[in-house]
């Protein structure tokens, strides 16, 4: 009788223990096929509310709903086996009260099976993070540039250049860390400050537009693969250039359809020839 090895999915606590051991590899994922491709290489898959902009063409993440996050979270869970999956809590799903946050976090975890939830905010959300953590909800925090708040903060820009701004980010990160977050995303923050904050926290830090000294890194997968070509933030590196390849493939397909060379006989179902 053979014993089959069951692959265990990484947990939030397992991600936390990687701090100081080795860099944590993280990418966003929004669909089952992409999650399947990323799973072997990533410690953590983030179902980010960035899907509002990446998948649905929204101008910001503010219009993303719980239903959207649940549907995409379910897809990523089906497509992955090993990575820790974290799902963003969308704007308006946790800011009202810690009780509202718990109800929606519990719903996300129950309906997707994800390992943890992520929310944006600093000192003002520390009580909420502690409330969730004490009730069995692993929380990833998010400080620095917070996309859900761009309407209030004046748009997308790097933060931490002034003493006042830097101190605010320090306090935010410290408060979320003390509240029990297992990990904290540091986004759009000047490098020396991000480095300093990462070294001072117990939580594992995940940088995006921050510092190589963060405990891990995350990018939007469509950015990293070079699918978007009209806008490339400073912090993005194209590890592939898929947009031209996709354009070429679709152009070839269109040409063959118009020329009636596709589908060829091998792509169609023929009647079986009867034996005489």
26, 206 in Cβ contact below 8 A? yes
Q: How far is the first Cα of the chain from the last one, in angstroms, to the nearest whole number?
A: 50
The response to whether 39 counts as a known ligand-binding position is: no
The response to whether 50 counts as a known ligand-binding position is: yes
The response to whether 118 counts as a known ligand-binding position is: yes
Interatomic CA distance for residues 263 and 167, integer angstroms = 63
Token pair listed for 128: 């909420």
67 is annotated as an active-site residue:
no
Q: What percent of the residues of the chain are helix, what percent strand, and what percent coil, each to the nearest 5?
A: 40, 15, 45
All residues at 6 or more sequence positions from 170 whose CB lies less than 8 Å from its CB, including other chains? 193, 196, 197, 200
Query: Cis peptide leading into 263, omega within 30 of 0?
Result: yes
The response to whether 266 counts as a known ligand-binding position is: no
Residue in 67, 96, 165, 187 annotated catalytic? 187
Among 63, 92, 183, 190, CA closest to 129: 183
Specify burial of residue 82 (Cβ count, 10 A radius: 0-12, 13-18, 19+): middle
Among 97, 184, 100, 187, CA closest to 150: 187
The response to whether 36 counts as a known ligand-binding position is: no
Return the exposure string of 250-262: e unless at least 16 CB atoms fall within 10 Å of the residue's CB, then b: eeeeeeeeeeeee
DSSP tag of 117: E
Helix axes 191-200, 163-178, angle to 10 degrees: 30
* Cα 128 off chain centre by: 21
Could you list the residues known to form a binding site for 3-methyl-2-oxobutanoate, using ranges: 49-50, 88, 118
Could you list the residues known to form a binding site for Mg(2+), using ranges: 49, 88, 120
Give the catalytic positions in this structure.
Answer: 187
Could you list the residues known to form a binding site, using ranges: 49-50, 88, 118, 120
């Amino acid at each position: 009788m053979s014993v089959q090895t069951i692959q265990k999915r990484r947990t939030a606590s397992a991600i936390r223990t990687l701090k100081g051991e080795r860099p944590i590899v993280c990418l966003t994922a929004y669909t089952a096929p992409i999650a399947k491709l990323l799973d072997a290489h990533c410690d953590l898959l983030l179902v980010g509310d960035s899907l509002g902009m990446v998948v649905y063409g929204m101008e910001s993440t503010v219009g993303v709903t719980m239903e959207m996050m649940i549907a995409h979270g379910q897809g990523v869970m089906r497509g992955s086996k090993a990575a820790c999956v974290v799902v963003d809590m969308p704007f308006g799903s946790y800011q009202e009260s810690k009780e509202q946050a718990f109800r929606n976090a519990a719903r996300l975890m129950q309906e997707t099976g994800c390992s943890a939830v992520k929310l944006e905010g600093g000192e003002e959300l520390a009580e909420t993070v502690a409330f969730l953590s004490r009730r069995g909800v692993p929380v990833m925090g998010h400080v620095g540039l917070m996309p859900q708040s761009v309407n209030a903060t004046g748009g997308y820009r790097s933060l931490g250049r002034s003493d006042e701004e830097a101190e605010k980010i320090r306090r935010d990160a410290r408060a979320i860390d003390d509240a029990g977050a297992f990990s904290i995303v540091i986004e759009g923050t000047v490098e020396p400050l991000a480095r300093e904050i990462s070294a001072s926290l117990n939580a594992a830090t995940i940088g995006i537009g921050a510092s190589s000294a963060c405990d891990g890194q995350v990018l939007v997968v469509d950015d990293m693969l070079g699918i978007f070509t009209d806008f490339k933030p400073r912090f993005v590196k194209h590890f592939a250039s898929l947009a031209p390849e996709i354009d070429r493939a679709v152009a070839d397909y269109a040409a063959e359809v118009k020329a009636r060379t596709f589908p060829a006989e091998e792509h169609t179902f023929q009647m079986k020839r009867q034996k005489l």
